[in-house]
């Protein structure tokens, strides 16, 4: 079944490299604090190694008792301050309420230079986050029209937190 995709972005007043270096390794429980009925990240367990190598896995624990597994599928740190970076991961093994609605998901984070006046990159960077859920049969409408609007608000709040972390460390 095809993914139901959601995407958000936010500017950050620092280079794409610095934004990547500050946000990607950050403790997820400080970035993803929940929204209404959507649970917060409470922690992680079972990490198979540093969270900067393709193939590494971990289980993310949620505040409602649910969990899911993440596996890094791409890790491209910007090689210069105004370079482009990308961090992708696959998500599966959902427990809790999401296990009744989706089979898996994919996420992608991109860090790219912002565009200032005259095309300069003085404006800093842009952080982009996309997330796609693969609904279980017969659940596409539920994911898109019921969970989707809440998820988008959650993503907007979370990307704003990530931009602040990028700027302040």
61-99: pLDDT as tens digits: 999 999 999 999 999 999 999 899 999 999 999 999 899
* Domains located in the chain, CATH noted: 13-168 (3.30.530.20)
Distance of CA 101 to the CA centre of its chain: 19
pTM exceeding the 0.85 threshold for the entire prediction: yes
138-158: pLDDT as tens digits: 999 999 999 999 999 999 999
Could you identify the residue written with the tokens 């403790």? 27
Could you identify the residue written with the tokens 């972005």? 9
- Annotate 12-23 with b (16+ C-beta within 10 A) or e (fewer): bebbbbbbbbbb
């Amino acid at each position: 079944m095809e993914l139901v995709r959601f995407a958000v972005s936010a500017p950050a007043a620092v280079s794409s490299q610095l934004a990547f270096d500050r946000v990607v390794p950050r403790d997820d429980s400080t970035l993803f604090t929940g929204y209404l009925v959507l649970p917060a990240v409470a922690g992680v367990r079972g990490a198979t190694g540093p969270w900067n190598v393709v193939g590494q896995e971990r289980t993310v624990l949620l505040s409602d008792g649910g969990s899911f597994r993440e596996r890094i599928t791409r890790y491209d740190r910007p090689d210069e301050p105004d370079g482009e970076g990308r961090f992708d991961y696959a998500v599966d093994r959902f427990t809790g309420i999401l296990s009744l609605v989706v089979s898996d998901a994919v996420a992608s984070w991109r860090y790219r230079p912002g565009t200032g006046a005259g095309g300069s990159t003085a404006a800093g960077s842009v952080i982009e986050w996309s997330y796609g859920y693969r609904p279980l049969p017969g659940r596409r409408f539920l994911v898109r029209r019921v969970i989707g609007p809440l998820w988008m608000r959650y993503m907007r709040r979370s990307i704003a937190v990530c931009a602040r972390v990028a700027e302040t460390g």
